[in-house]
Amino acid sequence: MSQELVRQLLIEEGGEATIDELRQLAKERYPDRTLSKYMSDRLQSLSKKGFVTKVDGPEAVWRITERGENTKTGNLPIYELEDDTSVEKFDKYNITISNIVAGFDLGSELNLERISEEFGDTRYHPESNNRLSFSPFEQKSLKLIAPSTGRISIVGAKNTDDLIEARDEFLHLLEDEFIDTPEIVVQNVVGTTSLNRELDLKELAASGGNLFEYSPENFPGLIFRPHNGATILIFTSGKCVITGAKTYSQVVESYEELIGVLRNVGVQDVGVSEW
């Protein structure tokens, strides 16, 4: 379950509830999903960011804060991207992270023309694109995109090390600017995997009702939207692309939710045998 959904459930409960009450509400709201089992992790993450607080007593109660009442969770800081449990499940489900999109804000404007003139690993063509592109490594798929506003995007990363090293390399170009090290915020995690079988997408769309979106004249794949805000693109070959997640946990949640839905509509031999 995404942190935003947990925040909304807590507001529904009047601003405070025990974890068991929240789990029960999640089961009632989404009876065909497996969302409730992630409640503890999500509450802990929300607590770190000041959205909720835990009130100890005979039965611990989670209470939403003023920030939690008035602010959506949005993008997540880099330290929330990875967790050991999800990484272990990547192997179980044969999930590969193909792209992590993130960003950071320098808090000041940049002179893109000067940067492009001084450093050879940059590309800047203001007549066609008003943003500067920087490739810090030989791995050219990873790039930093820099507008003059100083709000930098990182695309093509595969893990947190890529993100941190890319940011630090860019800051090294600007060391004379005396810029403090900004926090990296994750915007999108893209994972790929396979259901290990071919699918009849037309038949699957018909049996799934409104669970799937299928318009082959516009897009060759089936679209599934998990409750955590991610999107899964499913192709005839069984290949799946999971996008729109903010953390590794959400990638795993999304895939597990898809497997559950597929089995509920009669597609049994998908995913892994021990699921």
Query: Over the stretch 184-235, which tens digit does the pLDDT of each residue have?
Result: 999 999 999 999 889 999 999 998 888 899 999 999 999 999 988 899 999 9
Does 248 or 71 have the greater pLDDT score? 248
Which residues pair with residue 239 across a beta bridge? 194
Fold identical between 77-96+188-264 and 107-181?
yes
Question: In sequence order, what are the residues at sequence separation of 6 or more whose Cβ sits closer than 8 angstroms to the Cβ of residue 242?
Answer: 95, 189, 190, 191, 192, 193, 230, 231, 232, 251, 254, 255
* pLDDT of residue 263 exceeding 70: yes
- At residue 38 the predicted structure's pLDDT band, cuts being 50, 70 and 90, is low
Superfamily in which the 77-96+188-264 domain is placed by CATH:
TATA-Binding Protein (3.30.310.10)
Give burial (CB, 10 Å; 0-12/13-18/19+) of 162: buried
To the nearest whole number, what is the mean pLDDT of the chain? 85
Give the pLDDT confidence of 112-139 residue by residue, as tens digits. 998 998 887 789 999 988 999 998 877 6
Q: What is the CATH number of domain 3-74?
A: 1.10.10.10
- At residue 1 the predicted structure's pLDDT band, cuts being 50, 70 and 90, is very low
Q: What is the CATH number of domain 107-181?
A: 3.30.310.10
| Confidence (pTM) | 0.72
Sequence-ordered alpha helix ranges (H) in the chain: 3-12, 19-29, 39-48, 66-70, 84-93, 112-118, 160-173, 201-208, 248-264
* pLDDT of residue 273 exceeding 70: no
CB-based contact 151:105 (threshold 8 Å): yes
Which pLDDT score, from 0 to 100, does residue 179 have? 61
Which residues pair with residue 103 across a beta bridge? 153, 185
CA of residue 65 relative to chain centroid, distance: 24
Which pLDDT score, from 0 to 100, does residue 137 have? 78
Identity of the amino acid at 18: T
CB-based contact 227:35 (threshold 8 Å): yes
Q: Could you count the other beta carbons within 10 Å of the beta carbon of residue 36?
A: 20
* pLDDT of residue 3 exceeding 80: no
- At residue 145 the predicted structure's pLDDT band, cuts being 50, 70 and 90, is very high
Does 167 or 85 have the greater pLDDT score? 167
Return the structure tokens found at 55. Answer: 């009130």
Q: Is 155 helix (H, G, I), strand (E, B) or coil?
A: strand
Instruction: Give the pairing type, strands 52-55 and 16-17.
Output: unpaired
Which pLDDT score, from 0 to 100, does residue 68 have? 82
User: Cα(26)–Cα(36) distance, rounded to whole angstroms?
Assistant: 6
What is the residue extent of each domain of the chain? 3-74, 77-96+188-264, 107-181
Which pLDDT score, from 0 to 100, does residue 148 have? 94
